Amino acid sequence: MSRVEQFLLGGGHNRTAIHVGLVNNMPDAALRATELQFARLLKASAGTLDVRLRLFSLRSIPRSADARSRMAGFYDDAAFLQAANIDALIITGAEPSAAGLRDEPYWAELAQLIDWAEIGTISTLFSDLAAHAAVLHLDGIEGRPLAEKLSGVYDTARAEDDPLFFNTAAQVAVPHSRRSNIAESDLAAKGYHVLSRLQNGQADIFTREPAGQSRFVFFQGHPEYDPGTLGHEYLRDMGRFLRGESPERPSLPENYFDRATEDRLKDMAGETDLARFNEIIAGALPRQMWRSNTIKLFGNWLTLVAAAKARRAASRSVRTRRRA
């Protein structure tokens, strides 16, 4: 059992276990944090279900030698997914390195994975830029650049009733961190269903479910984020700015830092010592919390996957008896 699987519920080996694959495309610095975020979230969401997590990676994602060494023995090549008996899949975004998604080094491999997931999984979750890549590959829907990065915790409202929202609040706060947006009008034109929206009208969660194929669930936000993740991202972007690696001074994440922290950071407009920013943010508290709703959301997703798996098993059993 891997160190990630140790976070999940055991229950022994049985045919009713839900096998979830995580294709982790995050950059090296965020790789470990992303593993833990999803592992802990699945554990908290599983309830009485026996959930098993396996880690996968795209070989075409550029990695340092140190990162590949650490991944050895814990990650399988995504090319082996077809033989892994995975019920459900989570695919994360990757940090952009090219002008367009089709120009990314991993594009062909990711497109092949998306095609397999349509018929090879019960359901697949696409997070952030992975959602943008999926709709571009599947239906030619291009993300539209935003005037400035959307970063912060935003109130979202339910747009449609859906089993994913069982026992969840109609309005919830969700972290977002992105530079582009998929327009709802473009999604509707291709038959997608927007399940929740931000107050500015942008889509938050949306789905695609052609008859007889996997149910694809897309997150433009990051409900899986830990409380400190947006703060770490702000520090990362500030470091790049101070080192001259980026011309853009990052804006504070909206609706995120407590008032005292926000005021202190606003007073540091001319500060060039990253250690000072780190010192202030280390003691900060997020203004809003979203964890309890995310646990319910993922719990509902796992329950739906388990129910679909049970129906498939019952159907196979009936066909076997008829042939006997």
197 lies in the same domain as 69: yes
Instruction: Name, in order, each residue with C-beta under 8 angstroms of 58's C-beta and a sequence gap of 6 or more.
Output: 23, 25, 78, 106, 109, 110, 113
Give me the helices (H) in 229-290, please: 229-242, 259-266, 274-282
Q: What percent of the chain has pLDDT over 70?
A: 93
* Residue 324: inside a domain: no
Closest by CA to 161, choosing from 224, 107, 126, 205, is 205
Tell me, yes or no, whether 104 and 238 share the same domain: no
Helix axes 259-266, 274-282, angle to 10 degrees: 170
Q: How far is CA 246 from the centre of its chain?
A: 25
Q: Mean pLDDT across the stretch 197-217?
A: 94
Co-location of 93 and 174 in the same domain: yes
- Are residues 127 and 246 both part of a single domain? no
140 and 213 assigned to the same domain: yes
Residues 118 and 23 in one domain: yes
CATH number at residue 76: 3.40.50.880
Please tell me the least confidently modeled range out of 133-142, 181-190, 251-260, 311-320: 311-320
In a domain, 127, yes or no: yes
Q: In what order do the strands lie in the sheet with 75-77?
A: 75-77, 51-57, 18-23, 88-91, 123-127, 215-219, 203-208, 193-198, 144-158, 171-181
Is the pLDDT at 322 greater than 80? The verdict is no
Q: Do 90 and 176 belong together in one domain?
A: yes
| pLDDT surpasses 80 at 8 | no
pTM for this predicted structure? 0.92
Q: Decide if pLDDT at 300 tops 80.
A: yes
State residue 12's pLDDT score: 43
pLDDT, mean of residues 39-55: 96
Q: How many residues in the chain?
A: 324
**234 and 141 assigned to the same domain:** no
CA distance linking residue 57 with residue 248, whole number of Å: 31
Residue 16: band (very low, low, confident or very high) from pLDDT cuts 50, 70, 90? confident
Contact predicate 170/197, CB 8 Å: no
Domain that holds residue 195: 5-224+289-315
111 and 88 within one domain:
yes
Looking at per-residue pLDDT, the higher value among 314 and 94 belongs to 94
Residue 71 lies in a domain: yes
Q: Residue 269: pLDDT above 90?
A: no
323 part of a folded domain: no
Do strands 88-91 and 18-23 pair parallel, antiparallel, or not at all (unpaired)? Answer: parallel
**76, two tokens:** 């399988």
Q: Evaluate whether residue 322 is within a structural domain.
A: no
Asked if residue 168 and residue 305 are part of one domain, the reply reads yes
pLDDT of residue 320: 62
pLDDT (mean) for 216-244: 95
19 and 54 both lie in a single domain = yes
Domain count for the chain, please give it: 2
- The verdict on residue 204 lying in a domain is yes
201 plus 306 within the same structural domain: yes
In a domain, residue 246? The reply is: yes
Encoding tokens for residue 105?
């080094």
